[in-house]
Structure 1
């Protein structure tokens, strides 16, 4: 049985900010960024390509899925 990560997953898209858990998305601690985006898109019934321009940031306590920041 795969182990589920305990960190919260913060998701930002379309002006929304949502907080999920890895257990809600059935994600293992070895989930790749692509797997995380796929699980988030599925959770919100979005097309898989919808989060292509988002980045996944890993911290010690959370995973953040957010639009890529454009500077300048």
Structure 2
């Protein structure tokens, strides 16, 4: 999970990509954005998909699963 606006998150993502490239490892292109709804769902011990199915993170998780299933 990351926030693109944070320089450190971008630098870490770039470093992961360079490492993966050097080891010939494919990284997923899907990124899970941070949002307050994730923390709220965790606190309430409810699935994010039940609690806030249309929040950015829930949509990102769905996209990740689609990417994973394409493998």
Pairwise TM-score range, normalised by the shorter structure = under 0.3
Question: Please, what TM-score do these two structures have when normalized by structure 2?
Answer: 0.28
Higher helix share: 2
Choose 1 or 2 for highest CA Rg.
2
TM-score, normalising length: structure 1: 0.27
**Larger proportion of strand:** 1
